[in-house]
């Protein structure tokens, strides 16, 4: 049996209990795609790479943390797992639980989850429960239930999630041959920024690689770490980072500070513009995934210049297919043409 997920490749570097039973879908090993044209547009003179995490088995980076969390839970004897989710955690938990023969229960905020994510959770056989409330409300509920019932919590409060998610940092270093100088990524519950920082520090300790500065990016309508207080009613089109009380908020602020980086906010318009711009590189990401790159662009517009020769990595956390509606909802339907070449030619030439 050939398995090549993150536990097979980096297991020795992950702090997992001995009872862990590996459950994998060969997640990780996602492409690090150079984007020289986009770098030139942003002033040039530096190397820009997109870490496309939408290429994981369920379409987001959540799979890195789910393989480890589900593997640990299975080894500990859990027959069921539960999570609150803005969508991607739900799809990922559902897939890995299915593979482990466990039942998955996922709580989502009603009406705030993108179509491709909800469909994923259902397709993988999870029990989906909608909550008339926010993600933060849903999280409080699953924490309470996991304390009362023998159901494992697989939100990023679960430390094994972060152990798996560290491997994104390892992969970037392994491909580049050392750590980049700057890493940009979106911040919601702040588990991923925390995990990346853990991973880079671990490689610094064992391989003497330098540490990158970390630029964490929130959506302006959902930016508790920038405002310095929780947001009761977060609003943003970037549903994956629509979180008002990040559970790993303190650690995120620490990662930004320790790395001489920062956490900033960008508007929904900036996020959607960057989603479109990335698509012109052939990389279609869901809105939240464009936030890291949108943050870099905003910093550059505000006067920051990436030092010559530096390597910048933007983590694009999830696939565009997760949220198709955001792209098509305001468009007229594609033009219909009868099956006649001359009519097709007219339509094409009018658009050239």
Ligand X SMILES: *Cc1c(COP(=O)(O)O)cnc(C)c1O
Q: Applying CB under 6 A, which part among 9-17, 38-46, 181-189, 203-211 lies near ligand X?
A: 181-189
Q: Are 92 and 158 in contact (CB under 8 A)?
A: no
> What's the min distance (Å) between Cβ of 310 and ligand X?
24
Residue 240 lies near ligand X (rule: CB under 6 A): yes
Q: Are 278 and 41 in contact (CB under 8 A)?
A: no
Residue 60 lies near ligand X (rule: CB under 6 A): yes
3-class DSSP state of 113: coil
Q: Are 294 and 268 in contact (CB under 8 A)?
A: no
What do you get for the CA distance between the two ends of the chain, in Å? 52
> What's the min distance (Å) between Cβ of 197 and ligand X?
12
Pairing of strands 152-153, 80-84: parallel
Q: Given candidates 62, 245, 277, 311, which one binds ligand X under the rule CB under 6 A?
A: 62
Residue 191 lies near ligand X (rule: CB under 6 A): yes
The C-alpha atoms of residue 59 and residue 20 are separated, in whole angstroms, by 24
> In 10 A of CB 253, how many CB atoms?
18
> What's the min distance (Å) between Cβ of 108 and ligand X?
13
> What's the min distance (Å) between Cβ of 132 and ligand X?
22
> What's the min distance (Å) between Cβ of 323 and ligand X?
9
Instruction: Tell me which residue has tokens 């995990």.
Output: 195
The C-alpha atoms of residue 333 and residue 271 are separated, in whole angstroms, by 24
> In 10 A of CB 55, how many CB atoms?
19
> In 10 A of CB 118, how many CB atoms?
20
> What's the min distance (Å) between Cβ of 287 and ligand X?
9
Q: Given candidates 20, 156, 251, 275, which one binds ligand X under the rule CB under 6 A?
A: 156
Q: Applying CB under 6 A, which part among 19-27, 191-199, 300-308, 324-332 lies near ligand X?
A: 191-199
Which residue has the CB atom at the shortest distance from ligand X? 318
> What's the min distance (Å) between Cβ of 190 and ligand X?
5
When the beta carbons of 152 and 193 are compared against ligand X, the nearer one is 193
The C-alpha atoms of residue 262 and residue 258 are separated, in whole angstroms, by 9
The single-letter DSSP state of residue 306 is P
Size of the site for ligand X (CB under 6 A): 19
Residue 68 lies near ligand X (rule: CB under 6 A): no
Q: Given candidates 69, 78, 91, 190, which one binds ligand X under the rule CB under 6 A?
A: 190
Residue 283 lies near ligand X (rule: CB under 6 A): no
Dig out the tokens for 13 from the structure: 């570097």
> What's the min distance (Å) between Cβ of 40 and ligand X?
26
Q: Given candidates 70, 104, 114, 187, which one binds ligand X under the rule CB under 6 A?
A: 187
Q: Given candidates 55, 288, 313, 314, which one binds ligand X under the rule CB under 6 A?
A: 288
Helices (H), 149-245: 159-165, 167-176, 191-207, 224-227
3-class DSSP state of 230: coil
Q: What are the residues binding ligand X (CB under 6 A)?
A: 60, 62, 88, 156, 186-193, 240-241, 286, 288-289, 317-318
């Amino acid at each position: 049996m050939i398995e090549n997920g993150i536990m097979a490749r980096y297991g020795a570097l992950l702090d997992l209990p001995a009872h862990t039973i590996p459950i994998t879908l060969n997640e990780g090993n996602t492409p690090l795609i150079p984007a020289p044209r986009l770098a030139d547009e942003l002033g040039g003179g530096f190397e820009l790479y997109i870490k496309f995490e939408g290429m994981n088995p369920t379409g987001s980076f959540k799979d890195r943390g789910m393989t480890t969390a589900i593997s640990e839970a299975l080894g500990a004897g859990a027959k069921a797992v539960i999570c609150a989710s803005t969508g991607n955690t739900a799809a990922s938990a559902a897939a890995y639980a299915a593979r482990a023969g466990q039942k998955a229960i996922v709580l989502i905020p009603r009406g705030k989850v993108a179509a491709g994510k909800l469909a994923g959770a259902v397709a993988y056989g999870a029990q989906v429960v909608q909550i008339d409330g926010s993600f933060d409300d849903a999280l409080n509920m699953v924490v309470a239930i996991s304390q009362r019932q023998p159901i494992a919590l697989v939100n990023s409060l679960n430390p094994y999630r972060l152990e798996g998610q560290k491997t994104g940092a390892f992969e970037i270093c392994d491909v580049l041959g050392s750590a980049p100088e700057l890493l940009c990524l979106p911040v919601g519950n702040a588990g991923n920024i925390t995990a990346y920082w853990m991973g880079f520090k671990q490689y610094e300790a064992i391989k003497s690689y330098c540490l990158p500065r970390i630029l964490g990016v929130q959506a302006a309508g959902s930016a508790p770490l920038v405002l310095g207080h929780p947001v009761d009613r977060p609003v943003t089109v970037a549903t994956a980072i629509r979180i008002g009380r990040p559970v790993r908020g303190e650690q995120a602020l620490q990662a930004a500070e320790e790395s001489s980086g920062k956490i900033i906010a960008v508007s929904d318009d900036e996020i959607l513009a960057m989603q479109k711009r990335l698509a012109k590189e052939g990389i279609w990401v869901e809105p939240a995934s464009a936030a890291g790159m949108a943050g870099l662009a905003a910093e550059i517009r505000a006067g920051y210049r990436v030092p010559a020769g530096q390597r910048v990595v933007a983590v694009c956390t999830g696939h565009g297919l997760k949220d198709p509606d955001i792209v098509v909802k305001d468009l007229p339907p594609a033009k219909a043409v009868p099956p006649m070449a001359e009519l097709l030619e007219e339509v094409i030439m009018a658009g050239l």
